[in-house]
Structure 1
Amino acid sequence: MAIGVLSLLGFQLVDSAFIARLGTTPLAAQSFTFPLSFLIIGVQVGMGIAIAALISRTLGANDLARARRLGGLVLSAGAITIGVLALILWVAHRPLFLRLGADDATLVLIRNYWAPQLLAAWLGANLYFGYSLFRAHGDTRLPGKLMVMTSLVNLLLDPLLIFGIGPWPGLGLAGAAWATVLAFFTGLTILGSRLKATDWLARHGLVEEAKRSALPFAGIAGPAMIGQLMPPLAAMLAISIVATLGETTVAAWGLASRLETVSLMVVLALTMSLPPWLGRCYGARDWAQVERLMHLAFRVVLVWQLAIGVALAAAAPWVALALSGHPEVRNELAILMRFMLPSYALLGICMLVVSAGNALGWPLGAMLMSGVRLFVCYLPCLWLGAQLAGVTGLAAGAAIGNALAGTLAWQLYRRGICSARLKVVE
């Protein structure tokens, strides 16, 4: 999963690097779309968490017939839900982007990019739901391979569609979105053919299963989805804060956001692969094994994130030079990298605790932790830093917010484990 996540997030960074060659305005236009893209991702990840949890628990109970019904139900319901959300975001895109701070010139670029990007988001969501189904059945290899394959397809198509080749002109910013559409469509085609070869989906009894599973699904997906929707909401507020510092800072922030997701690849892989394992331990009330797994994950995250964070921070000028051709964007990106990347070690601890909470029967606690991280720790520090010291204060505020969130999440986890052990003893 780490290899797959690296390749998937890597192609998003490659998108931004190619777009940066078009100029600061196209890069800023793409950056304005990130919060709404994260909104779609938040919904799909929340649903994916519920998919993996319900199906893995059902398989653990050896109820294969119900697992097949759940598989068919969640794939169809997920496609409809994301499709409706994408339509809403297209219809309301102008007032939304104006609210985020885009001007009329940037809005023209956004409009040409946003339609194919929404199509790509819908295809990507369906692909993700398929990944969740495979992970629930214990197969992480196919999702990882498909992530790598779609990333390579996108990498090959990006320069052709953005810049053109020979007599065929490029599509500019929109070309990046169309490359993603074709990459995800290719992956979805392969995933569909593999699903047909399995016995994981049922076509009958879905209505009755929907009635039976609606409340359990909502009990997991509801808090998880709200928790996943908080980051895009916070990202909207963050980009509004960043926009007050100018278009150059918005462009640098967009590149820093891409670097953030790439540097967090191990954390993201753990948040996808660890919950099904924790869920089975939860079903067996094996809290000692839960602690062993979580402590191992904490150590991996701390060592990895500190190592990669410090290394990238030291190489910030050269990384910024590779990602952007604009001197001011490069300088501001280097400042953001030096402060923010090392702080992702404690951010990773927070992400692990939130992910584990959804698997261990603490969905409300996980949701509240997400809210505290973003709206109590992160955004206030971000705003205060921007007000006091511009770009440098912005970067320092983000780092301080991440550190506070990781510390609070660790305390929440320890209390949850102690409470669970007491219940077992009683």
Structure 2
Amino acid sequence: MPVAAASSLGLTLWRQTWPMTIGVLALLGFQLVDSAFVSRLGTAPLAAQSFTFPLTFLIIGVQVGLGIAIAALISRALGAGEVARARRLGTLVVSVGSVTIALLAIVLWWAQVPIFTRLGADTATLPLIRAYWAPQLFAAWLGAVLYFIYSLFRAHGDTRLPGKMMVVTSLANLALDPLLIFGVGPWSGLGLPGAAWATAIAFGCGLLVVVGRLRHSDWLARSGLRQELAVSARPFIGIAGPAMIGQLMPPLAAMLAISVVAGLGEASVAAWGLASRLETLALVVVLAMTMSLPPWLGRCYGAGDWQQVRELIGLALRVVVAWQLGLGLLLAILAPWLAQLLAGSPEVRGDLTLLIRFLLPSYAALGVCMLVVSAGNALGWPLRAMLMSAARLFVCYLPCLWLGAWLGGLAGLAMGAALGNVLAGLMAWQLMRRLLARRGHDGGPESKLLARERT
């Protein structure tokens, strides 16, 4: 690729990604701030919150799987010039997605006791979880609806408004957290549930703003929805089904992982919960790319431009590896100070320092795997992306994590998880190389025709 073309491509990738990077950084930052405030309540509330993370990730997995389908189908329709169909799809998927997440939240509330008991929560922790779980589920539903609308904006090429709103909601949560958790003046606050209510209020305010903006856009339709549902249900399920299963695997793996960590003690569970929040924050650039890149790839797919696809993926992978490796090594060096900032208990700080030093440098390989899975969903390979997610978690990550914990306690668990990430990254890179090699070099007219037929 010529230097000028590579520079132009990199500049466009930067313009598409930086708003989402800032937004995701703010969004994940407030989740980490939540845990930092909760840690000041004591080890027991922090451990109670940590037990809810896998189920929260379960909800996020469903919403992200649906969001992938939203972005893929709408961007492909726009790439093929089918603007009216894109409007109908936008209306359908946002409404169906909101109802789906609401039903999931109801099921998770009803089944909370057997689920958390199986995860390792004891009788002293269950009342803390119950008080937190209802407002947390409400906040998760509001966040899911907000995410679906963000996906609609991204599919139309607007990454700035979602990025700005993520920052605004994060600042609102940051301001509300200490007030609702610890109180002000004579009011003693809500304790652990206050963190969930702060998130719910922040998401609710953000939802009011984006719904108002959406009403003034030309991205929704009121007619032809029933016919569109009949035509698009199958391709939507074909993308959303594997993508959702792929997104549900990390929460399942997180449940299995925390059940292993629970055997190492309450302090290790609390440290693992903080490390999980720190993981998503450290992967902010990767997460932003998994949001900004698929709509762009979807348009290339709709137009049959596979040369552009190869160039985009190659550039994105190079950026991810360089950034994550540098950031991971830096944070590993700063691990003791970072743990002191986040954790209140000396025992939790020691465990968190150990986890940071081993896990964060391995996120360079994890980032490669995440980007390959996201690109696979956008490019018409949802089944392969799902299988890649399964292989990462159940062939690489969990076996190495369990074996490490069995051999060496928390230190062995950290080393095993890092090794699993590296193996998954290498596997994903080889898979993407093989898939792209099967496409024609220039993505000519025949490739374009096939892409349009798939859309």
Match of 2:435 in 1: 416
Match of 2:401 among 365, 374, 382: 382
Match of 2:252 among 233, 241, 257: 233
Match of 2:88 in 1: 69
Match of 1:372 in 2: 391
Which deviates more, 201-210 or 265-274? 201-210
Residue 337 of structure 2 corresponds to residue 280 of structure 1:
no
Which deviates more, 22-31 or 204-213? 204-213
Match of 2:281 among 238, 252, 262: 262
**How far apart, CA to CA, are the structure 2 residues paired with 1:104 and 1:141?**
46
Query: Structure 2 vs 1, CA of residues 281 and 60 (structure 1 numbering), >3 Å: closer, same or farther?
Result: closer
Deviation at 1:36, TM superposition (A): 0.5
Provide the secondary structure at the position in 2 that maps to 1:30. Answer: helix
Match of 1:146 in 2: 165
Match of 1:186 among 196, 202, 205: 205
Aligned amino acid, residue 266 of structure 1: V
TM-score normalized with structure 2 length: 0.92
Provide the secondary structure at the position in 2 that maps to 1:421. Answer: coil
**How far apart, CA to CA, are the structure 2 residues paired with 1:421 and 1:21?**
57
**How far apart, CA to CA, are the structure 1 residues paired with 2:428 and 2:75?**
26
Match of 1:393 in 2: 412
**How far apart, CA to CA, are the structure 2 residues paired with 1:47 and 1:191?**
19
**How far apart, CA to CA, are the structure 2 residues paired with 1:206 and 1:43?**
23
Deviation at 1:61, TM superposition (A): 2.3
Match of 2:140 in 1: 121
**How far apart, CA to CA, are the structure 1 residues paired with 2:400 and 2:313?**
28
Unaligned runs of 5+ in 1: none
Residue 196 of structure 2 corresponds to residue 177 of structure 1:
yes
Deviation at 1:284, TM superposition (A): 2.6
Unaligned runs of 5+ in 2: 1-19, 447-455
**How far apart, CA to CA, are the structure 2 residues paired with 1:399 and 1:200?**
43
Aligned amino acid, residue 12 of structure 1: Q
Aligned amino acid, residue 224 of structure 1: A
**How far apart, CA to CA, are the structure 2 residues paired with 1:282 and 1:204?**
27
Deviation at 1:208, TM superposition (A): 1.8
Provide the secondary structure at the position in 2 that maps to 1:46. Answer: helix
Provide the secondary structure at the position in 1 that maps to 2:221. Answer: coil
Residue 82 of structure 2 corresponds to residue 59 of structure 1:
no
Residue 329 of structure 2 corresponds to residue 310 of structure 1:
yes
Match of 1:360 in 2: 379
Which deviates more, 55-64 or 175-184? 55-64
TM-score normalized with structure 1 length: 0.98
Provide the secondary structure at the position in 2 that maps to 1:168. Answer: coil
**How far apart, CA to CA, are the structure 1 residues paired with 2:130 and 2:430?**
44
Aligned amino acid, residue 309 of structure 1: G
Superposed counterparts of 1:74-153, under 5 Å: 74-153=93-172
**How far apart, CA to CA, are the structure 2 residues paired with 1:421 and 1:241?**
46
**How far apart, CA to CA, are the structure 1 residues paired with 2:37 and 2:366?**
28
**How far apart, CA to CA, are the structure 1 residues paired with 2:275 and 2:227?**
47
Provide the secondary structure at the position in 2 that maps to 1:165. Answer: coil
Match of 1:157 in 2: 176
Match of 2:16 in 1: none
Match of 2:353 in 1: 334
Aligned amino acid, residue 415 of structure 1: R
Deviation at 1:423, TM superposition (A): 11
Aligned amino acid, residue 27 of structure 1: L
Deviation at 1:307, TM superposition (A): 1.0
Match of 2:343 in 1: 324
Contact 2:355 2:414 in 1 (8 A): yes
Match of 1:296 in 2: 315
Aligned amino acid, residue 376 of structure 2: G
Aligned CA-pair RMSD = 1.2
Identity across the alignment (%): 73
**How far apart, CA to CA, are the structure 2 residues paired with 1:423 and 1:308?**
36
**How far apart, CA to CA, are the structure 1 residues paired with 2:272 and 2:266?**
10
**How far apart, CA to CA, are the structure 2 residues paired with 1:45 and 1:359?**
13
**How far apart, CA to CA, are the structure 1 residues paired with 2:223 and 2:443?**
39
Deviation at 1:60, TM superposition (A): 2.0
* CA deviations over 1:158-205 (Å, ceiling 9, x no partner): 000000000112100000000000000000000010011111112222
* CA deviations over 1:20-51 (Å, ceiling 9, x no partner): 00000100000000110011001000000000
